[in-house]
A and B are shown apart, each in its own frame.
Chain A
Amino acid sequence: MTDGFDMSEYLDVFLQEADDQLLTLEENMVKLEQEDAPQDVLQAIFRAAHTLKGASASMGFTQLAEVTHILENVLDALRNEQIKTSTDLVDATFKALDCMRALKEEAAQGVQGTVPDEVIQDTLTSLKTILAESQGDRMEAQEAGGGPVGMELAAHDMETISEAVERGYNVFQVHIKLKEGCPLKGIRAALIVNDMNDHGEVVKTAPPSEDLEEERFDHEFVALTVTQSTETEIMESVKKLAEIDEVSVEAVKADEVVAAQDKADDEAAEAADAAEAAVAAAAEEAGDPDVKPAAAAADAPAQQAQGGPSRQVATVRVNVEQLDNLMNYVAELVIDRTMLEQIRASLAQQRGTQDDIVARLEESVSGIRRRTTELQEEIMKARLLPIANVFNRFPRMVRDLAKKAGKEIDFQVSGGETELDRSVLEFIADPLIHILRNAVDHGIEPPDVREEAGKPRKGAVDLNARHEENHIVIEVTDDGRGIDPEKVKAAAIRRGQLTEEVAARMSRREVYDLIFAPGTSTADQITDVSGRGVGMDIVKTNIERLNGQIDIQSQVGVGTTMAVRLPLTLAIIQALMVSSRQRIYAIPLSAVEETERRPRSDVDTVRGRETITVRDKVIPLIDLSGALSYSREVPPPEESDQLYIVVVSVGEKLAGLIVDRLVGEQEVVIKSLGKFIGEIHGISGATILGDGTVALIVDVGALLNRVVDEIQQPALA
């Protein structure tokens, strides 16, 4: 570490960066094994290792830097085709990844020595063994070189240079080596460039200046500068700056620059040609002359050959809290807008709608209305993240599971770009892990069994995500043995969950529901039963907690698809607004089966509880306000002959909520009632209505649990 330099404030940034790089490594390492290691994968993975090495070294995490460094060497050898991918290699790189994770965690916790030395040594040895395969000692060469420092010049750079040379300026290539582990090297580099700019003009740097700023370089860089100063003057000036290890200044002859330029041009042209050919081929194949997307894709390699930065979407990291604040401000704006509308209305009453001021007010109010709606939508979108954030860890997991279970599996992931709210994202990983594990452990048969059944030895497991209206649908499909309803029934009967008669009458769907019943979850039972169900009850509970649904489709011998349907966000739900005793409530629409208007005479009393028959089912009735118990009772409205009943369900439990009035359907933003109020039975949160008042959100599950248990439910659904 550098003398007394306080690193703590950079730690967060480092950790975040490290997480990103580790994820990139993991994502791409899995691909190493699958495909024949395409160059872009190798590049991505190498770059990630390289960046992480630099960052950890500069933060003083030497062990992490060391492991990453050797890994980088392996990847470099791979990239340069000195070694080939093998299971050993992938295993070794994964081992390194685990080790790096552990070391990163150490860094995050601010502790040391939790990762045993043997583990680190073992990791290093496995990597070095792989490296030993590569002939020669290029590793050393790579070390000394410290990364490519080639320089490619664009046409306008060339013009600047040749003009400078004509006018008698000097052109120097300045090679700077910062001290190893120097902190804030991005800023150092900027200072050095600035210093050279005092003497002349830095035309170009390698790596490019934005990479320098963002510390995307090892500890060396090259700057091409046009100046009136001499070599020594530049050298002396730069050397005065801190944290510099070595400086060398070399004069550049104009013809060299030109030659270099020609070479770069050639490469670019080659890439462009290849790209064009690809476009042409694609066009031919598609039989469509208008091939815009392909052409866009073809731009990328050409650009890369130019040494330009690969295309990136400009993004910034934003704290979630800030987004939440933004949401709140928008909500407040909506309230202000409502007030403005009221003012407009009373003004219109006084002056008439034809009045000029009233009309202008109306115009701006409706402008504000549109803007606030747009603003709200944009902020909601900003909270969305691609599901790839969760999917990314699965290829590795499936690989490991398959290896452990002695299965061969081809795991395909699609739809990773599908976006959903981060609040949902946090909670779906676990259910998906369960489902995938089931597919691997119990769905896919061992290779020999598959072969006997006339299936390919390699089982297929597909993970797919897509949007459907306001939902995201995630499907896990396997081509394994499928679920045998008879076996599931037999097991349920054995456990006393069912009688034979009930079982005989069950539909396939009802049988599948058994899989989610608690008790189906002990492993040995599952394996003889259906080959499914490890913790499936937990999966279902978790998904329902997110206002989602899970659906199974399966065919014996062909395979199984589990489809999870989730709302895009937890922060917003569709709700049925109802009024009870002058209070407005939001009932999540996902729990609402139907609404009924029934004469009071339809109500029966069963064991002291009011019930009603809806679609041949006797369901208990719950008076919404009564069930919540307020300290201030509001008398019910005068007895009317008609009752409004909202039929709600959670799982197979049904009940009817008696309300005074249906207000309508609306999207509501869920908010917490806060620590002070705490948990309220039957209320899951609150929401702010358009007029700025607060409505409570009904926790249907809690209300039902308490009431339904008291009454005999008709035969299990």
Chain B
Amino acid sequence: MDELAVLDDVELMGDGEQVVSFRIGDEILAVGVDTVYEIVRMREVTEVPQVPSYVHGVINLRGHIIPVINLRNRLGLEEVEETRSTRIIVVELGGESIGMVVDAVDEVVTVPTDAISPPSPVLISIDTDFVRGIARLEDRLIILLDVLKVTQFGAEGDGEEKPEALPAGDAAAAPAIEGGDEA
């Protein structure tokens, strides 16, 4: 399901896709802006029993109970303590809202379609199964996350995480996009 949102971007003058970029350790990842429902500050997550460890638990989002995925865990990265910049990106898929915990949210960028290449395990430290493509912008690489795969529950071996320690990327103190109404 590769629905690249073709947006008219005046600056780039070409086919491109608007994405919300965020950080997990040193990597810059992104999800399509049209799947993002909301970005909120980290809040208390209630753990739920009998779920894979990457399911962090549930939160209350304006009276709705929504599940939250620990993206670090999901992508096979080491877990870190939450910081002031930790955010939950709430995506909407098939009418269900699902939150993903990320280290920090950067910005909304437009990625030209021709800058996107298929994922290569050489370039990135995360499981390419969850990657839709890699966008090369002038100064950085953006990993386009396959949100559908990430949020697919129990599809492929949803067993326990493999806690091999990867070097802990210090949560980048990037300027965060504040999630709307969250005080």
The residues of A with any CB-CB pair to B shorter than 8 Å are 327-332, 335, 339, 583, 628-632, 671-678, 680-683, 686, 688, 692-696
The reply to whether A339 and B183 form a contact with Cβ atoms under 8 Å apart is yes
Q: Is the CB of A329 within 8 A of B63?
A: yes
User: Is B140 in the interface zone, CB < 8 Å from A?
Assistant: no
Closest chain-A Cβ to B97's Cβ sits at a distance in Å of 8
Provided the pairs A631-B53, A686-B58, A693-B60 are in contact, do residues A674 and B96 lie with their beta carbons within 8 angstroms?
yes
CA–CA, A629 and B160, complex, Å: 14
A332, B47: Cβ atoms under 8 Å?
no
Given A673-B58, A677-B55, A677-B58, do A694 and B50 touch, yes or no (CB 8 Å)?
Answer: no
In the assembly, what is the distance between CA of A680 and CA of B60, in Å?
Answer: 18
CB A217 to nearest CB in B, in angstroms, measures: 42
A332 pairs with B63, CB closer than 8 A: yes
Complex Cα distance, B49 from A630, in Å, reads 4
Tell me whether B18 is interfacial, beta carbon within 8 Å: no
Contact across chains for B49 and A674 when beta carbons are under 8 A apart: no
Q: Which residue of B lies closest to A327 (CB)?
A: B63
Residue of B nearest to A628 (CB): B49
- Which of B64-72, B82-90, B113-121 forms part of the interface with chain A? B64-72
Cβ of B151 under 8 Å from chain A: yes
CB–CB A680/B48 < 8 A: yes
Chain B residues with CB under 8 A of A696: 46, 48
Name the contact of A686 in the complex, choosing from B46, B51, B98, B151 (C-beta under 8 A).
B46
A331 to B62, CA, bound (A): 7
Q: Does B52 contact A (CB under 8 A)?
A: yes
Q: Tell me whether A694 and B46 are in contact (CB under 8 A).
A: yes
Q: Which of A330, A629, A676, A688 contacts B60 (CB 8 A)?
A: A688
List residues 18-63 of chain B with CB under 8 A from any CB of chain A: 43-44, 46-53, 55, 57-60, 62-63
Are A681 and B50 touching (Cβ within 8 A)? yes
Cβ contact within 8 Å between B46 and A329: no
A631 to B49, CA, bound (A): 7
Which residue of A has the minimal Cβ distance to B62?
A332
Please tell me which one of the listed residues A328, A680, A693 contacts residue B64 in the complex, with CB atoms under 8 A apart: A328
Main secondary structure of the interface of A (DSSP, over half): mixed
* In-complex Cβ contact of A673 among B44, B62, B65 (8 A): B65
Determine whether the beta carbon of B50 is less than 8 Å from that of A671.
no
Q: Is the CB of A680 within 8 A of B51?
A: yes
15 additional A-B pairs beyond A339-B183, A694-B58, beta carbons within 8 Å, are A329-B62, A330-B63, A332-B63, A335-B60, A628-B50, A631-B49, A632-B53, A671-B65, A673-B48, A674-B66, A677-B48, A686-B46, A688-B63, A693-B60, A694-B46
Provide the residues of chain B in CB contact with A678, threshold 8 Å: 153
Closest 7 CB pairs of A and B: A328-B63, A331-B63, A628-B49, A694-B46, A631-B53, A332-B62, A676-B67
Instruction: Give every chain A residue within 8 A of B67 (Cβ-Cβ).
Output: 673-674, 676-677
- Interchain nearest-CB distance for A552 vs B (Å): 38
Please judge, given known A-B contacts A676-B96, A677-B55, whether A583 and B46 are in contact too, CB under 8 Å.
Answer: yes
In the complex, which residue of chain B has the Cβ closest to the Cβ of A680? B50
B47 → chain A closest CB, angstroms: 6
In the assembled complex, 11 residue pairs joining A and B whose CB atoms fall closer than 8 Å, in A order, are A329-B62, A329-B63, A332-B63, A673-B65, A673-B67, A676-B96, A676-B98, A682-B49, A686-B46, A694-B46, A694-B58
> For the complex, what is the distance from the CA of A327 to the CA of B62, rounded to whole Å?
10
Please give me the residue from chain B that is nearest to A328 by CB atom. Answer: B63
CA distance A44 to B44 in the complex (A): 57
Most central of B48, B53, B63, B65 by chain A CB within 10 Å: B63
Residue of B nearest to A334 (CB): B63
Which residue in chain A gives the minimum CB-CB distance to B183? A339
Q: Which residues of B contact A677 (CB under 8 A)?
A: 48, 51, 55, 58, 67
**Smallest Cβ-Cβ distance to A687: which chain B residue:** B65
**A674 to B62, Cβ gap below 8 A?**
no
| Residues of chain A lying within 8 A (CB to CB) of residue B62 | 328-329, 331-332
> In the complex, which of the residues A329, A335, A632, A674 contacts B47, with contact meaning CB atoms closer than 8 Å?
A632
Most chain-A CB neighbours within 10 Å: which of B58, B59, B66, B67? B58
CA distance A686 to B160 in the complex (A): 25
B46 touches A695 (CB 8 A): yes
Residue numbers in A under 8 Å from B153 (CB-CB): 676, 678
Q: How distant is the Cα of A672 from the Cα of B60 in the complex, in angstroms?
A: 12
* Whole-angstrom CA separation of A283 from B28 in the bound complex: 84
Query: Which single member of B51, B96, B98 contacts A631 (CB below 8 Å)?
Result: B51
Which residues of B have CB within 8 Å of A683? 48-49
Q: How far is the CA of A579 from the CA of B165 in the complex (A)?
A: 33
Q: Residues of A contacting B58 with CB < 8 Å?
A: 673-674, 677, 686, 694
For the complex, give the distance between the alpha carbons of A95 and B44 in Å.
60
User: Whole-angstrom distance between the alpha carbons of A441 and B79 in the complex?
Assistant: 66
Shortest beta-carbon distance, A649 to chain B, in Å?
23
Closest to B153 in A: A676
Q: How far is the CB of B155 from chain A (nearest CB, A)?
A: 12
Residues of chain B from 97 to 154 with CB closer than 8 A to chain A in the complex: 98, 151, 153
A688-B63, A688-B65 are contacts. A693–B151 as well, Cβ < 8 Å?
no
B49 and A693: CB pair below 8 A?
no
Measured CB to CB, the closest approach of chain B to A329, in angstroms, equals 7
How far is it, in angstroms, between the C-alpha of A696 and the C-alpha of B47 when the chains are bound?
9
Q: Which residues of B contact A629 (CB under 8 A)?
A: 49-50
Q: Taking the nearest CB of chain B, how far is it from the CB of A69, in angstroms?
A: 44
Q: In whole Å, how far is B93's beta carbon from the nearest beta carbon of chain A?
A: 9
Complex-state Cα separation, A695 to B57, whole angstroms: 11
When chains A and B are docked, how far (Å) is the Cα of A339 from the Cα of B59?
17
**Complex Cα spacing A412 to B151, Å:** 56
Which of A329, A631, A681 has the most B CB atoms < 10 Å from its CB?
Answer: A631
| Residues in A whose Cβ lies below 8 Å from that of B46 | 583, 686, 693-696
State in angstroms the CA–CA spacing of A680 and B57 once bound together. 12
In contact, B98 and A694 (Cβ under 8 angstroms):
no
Interface pair B49/A676, CB less than 8 Å apart: no
In contact, A680 and B44 (Cβ under 8 angstroms): no
Chain A min CB distance to B40 (Å): 12
- Chain B residues with Cβ under 8 A from A676's Cβ? 67, 96, 98, 151, 153
Q: Please indicate the chain A residues that have their CB under 8 angstroms from the CB of B183 in the complex.
A: 339
CB distance from B91 to the nearest CB of A (A): 11
Q: Are B51 and A694 in contact (CB under 8 A)?
A: no
Residues from 136 to 182 in B contacting A, C-beta threshold 8 Å: 151, 153, 160
Are B65 and A672 touching (Cβ within 8 A)? yes
Q: Which residues of B contact A695 (CB under 8 A)?
A: 46
A628 to B66, CA, bound (A): 20
CA distance A672 to B65 in the complex (A): 7
Beyond A675-B96, A676-B98, whether A694 also contacts B60 by CB under 8 A is yes
Instruction: Please indicate the chain B residues that have their CB under 8 angstroms from the CB of A630 in the complex.
Output: 47, 49-50
Q: Which chain A residue has the least Cβ–Cβ distance from B154? A: A678
**Cα separation A671 to B49 with both chains bound (whole Å):** 17
Which residues of A have CB within 8 Å of B53?
631-632
Identity of the chain A residue whose Cβ is nearest the Cβ of B95 in the assembled complex: A675
- Report the separation of the CA atoms of residues A583 and B33 in the bound assembly, to the nearest whole angstrom: 35
Chain B residues contacting A693 (CB-CB under 8 Å) are 43-44, 46, 60
Residue in chain B with minimal CB distance to A685: B65
